[in-house]
Amino acid sequence: MHDILRIDPVTRIEGHLGIEVKVKDGKVVDAWSSGTLFRGIENILIGRDPADAPVFTQRSCGVCTYSHLIGSLRAVESAIGVTIPPNARIIRNLLHGAQLIADHIVHFYHLHALDWVDVISAISADVNKTAALADSVSNWEKGGVKFYTQVKKRLKTFVDSGQLGPLNNAYWGHPAYKLPPEANLMAAAHYIEALRVQTRAAKMLSIFGGKAPHPDAPVVGGLTCIRDLTPDRIAEFKFMWKDIQDFVENVYMPDLLAVASFYKDWGAIGGTTNFLTWGDFPQTDKEPESFFMPRGIIMNRNLKNVKMSDPSKVLEHVEHSWYKKGKPKHPAEGETLPEAGEYDRGKKYTWLKAPRYNGEPCEVGPLARVLVAYAKGHKEIKEAVDGTLKTLDVPVDALFSTLGRTAARAIETVVIGRQMGGWINELLANIKNGDDKIYQSWKMPEGTVKGAGLNDVARGALGHWIEIEKGKIKNYQYVVPSTWNLGPRCSKGKLGPVEQALIGTPVQDVEKPIEVLRTIHSFDPCLACAVHVVDYDKNKSFKARVC
């Protein structure tokens, strides 16, 4: 006997996601990932001015808008052959860092934590024990009995009102929850505090980006925020960075370790096999050699044989996607030819293509970046990873899991956040020395030129490819992190990373498949809205809503 569980939609930044899994003997034995929203921005761009591409592509998403902006800028700049000034590179790194930190804080607390934290349980917590627990894991200046008493009172009022808002319709009381009430109260308090902290990152984006979301100061050739390059504005940015970094190091990371200590069994659940990064945060004009987060490819979990990833080895398959049938193509030669059809998991079942590296599916994102950096001996990453493994008392192999994926996101938030302090000081020193250049003029080449913008954003490896002919866009394609992670089977039948990761996931209650959501959410697809479950053996259908 088996159960078929349909989770649709699982909303995410690139659109809407549907997940279907087959459960047998309490474990997932097969899975299908379906992207259910078609945008087609690539087609909209054809015939437009190349400078329009960053403006359009960043509107692929209202959450990580800077990610597509910088990827598109790099693609256009690569094609026309312009090198941006050092100050522009530094500021772009700072904007990218602010975006990444904001995304990771929101993901852990507001999109993923409720898979592990039972906030209803928190109202039965002993506030004295909660305060003692918080003091034992964190040096955060806020807290104490009074603080947690107020939070508990607010939560109880919220629960008693019967209107839980964003906390409604979750699986409270599910046996898969393991945290004691005191840990749940501590995490719930920090969930609320994180709402304030993440707004600081948005303000940081607006200082040098012009506005948030959809920054408009970064342009082809550099930036236009020359009037904001003053000691006062840089100091304002630095003040906000310090506030966020304090939260990251003294709340986010300790919370991750505290919660993970109760779920160490998830260090053997939800893993994939191959990991790809394009790398990012250039320290000089030499790329990818100067990337702070290095470029690389790990195959078959072999950390002793990390190679430089080669974008020429990427092909996109459409065998199981709602596009006109054709041979796998490199994104630079790719097409976006939609051909809508019915959902058929044996044939076509998604709008997402299936990118493959040298024929293999690859996970992208924080775990891939941390693994590549760790394997290459990246000093800061290695220290953070080894410290985390030691604290949790788990082996390196635990990184290849849902637990490892969630921990990697916190680890890189700490490390990249610390690195931002150096970039701020570098920028300030340049300005004080009279170097305020942030833009390089350029001229559109005649004839046909091609370019690629490869970078690694919060959710993973992102690639933009452009072909320009007579000053207009002839072709444009981009492969986003969610396509890598959430794509379907390829023409050879190989499962996508999320499909692969779900195999073996335990499910205690098919009507409340919280374990499936844990692994899906660990890839940061944003938010699950509804779960549809069909029991084919019992011929029974039911629907359960989740937050």
| Neighbouring residues of 493: CB distance < 8 A, sequence distance ≥ 6 | none
Q: Which of 112, 459, 489, 518 is catalytic?
A: 459
Both tokens of residue 13? 């930044």
Bridge partners (DSSP) listed for residue 451? 466
Q: Which of 6, 42, 61, 72 is catalytic?
A: 61
Q: Which of 110, 249, 529, 532 is catalytic?
A: 529
SS3 210: coil
SS3 539: coil
Are the C-beta atoms of 527 and 111 separated by less than 8 Å?
yes
Are the C-beta atoms of 508 and 492 separated by less than 8 Å?
no
User: CA 424, 426, 427, 433 torsion: positive or negative?
Assistant: positive
> Does the annotation mark 68 as catalytic?
yes
> Does the annotation mark 464 as catalytic?
no
Q: Which of 225, 362, 526, 547 is catalytic?
A: 526
d(CA 240, CA 433): 24
Q: Which of 6, 68, 200, 317 is catalytic?
A: 68
Triad 143, 147, 150: Cα angle to 5°:
155
> Does the annotation mark 490 as catalytic?
no
Both tokens of residue 259? 């919660």
Q: Which of 34, 67, 401, 482 is catalytic?
A: 482
> Does the annotation mark 316 as catalytic?
no
Give the count of beta carbons closer than 10 Å to the beta carbon of residue 539. Answer: 7
d(CA 438, CA 441): 10
Q: Which of 14, 42, 319, 412 is catalytic?
A: 14
> Does the annotation mark 14 as catalytic?
yes
d(CA 214, CA 59): 7
> Does the annotation mark 78 as catalytic?
no
DSSP letters for 275-313 = EEE--EEESSSSTTTTEEE--EEE-TT-TT--B---GGG
d(CA 274, CA 364): 9
DSSP-assigned letter for residue 320 = T
How would you classify the pairing of strands 314-317 and 3-12? Answer: unpaired
Are the C-beta atoms of 462 and 68 separated by less than 8 Å?
yes
d(CA 186, CA 307): 42
> Does the annotation mark 482 as catalytic?
yes
Q: Which of 12, 33, 60, 64 is catalytic?
A: 64
Are the C-beta atoms of 533 and 510 separated by less than 8 Å?
yes
Both tokens of residue 72? 């598109």
Q: Using alpha carbons, list the distances in angstroms from residue 72 to 51, 301, 363, 495.
A: 9, 31, 22, 29
Give the count of beta carbons closer than 10 Å to the beta carbon of residue 300. Answer: 8
| Neighbouring residues of 290: CB distance < 8 A, sequence distance ≥ 6 | 282, 283, 284
Are the C-beta atoms of 180 and 133 separated by less than 8 Å?
no
| Neighbouring residues of 445: CB distance < 8 A, sequence distance ≥ 6 | 79, 80, 81, 468
Are the C-beta atoms of 54 and 65 separated by less than 8 Å?
no
d(CA 171, CA 115): 9
> Does the annotation mark 61 as catalytic?
yes
* Catalytic sites, residue numbers: 14, 61, 64, 68, 459, 482, 526, 529
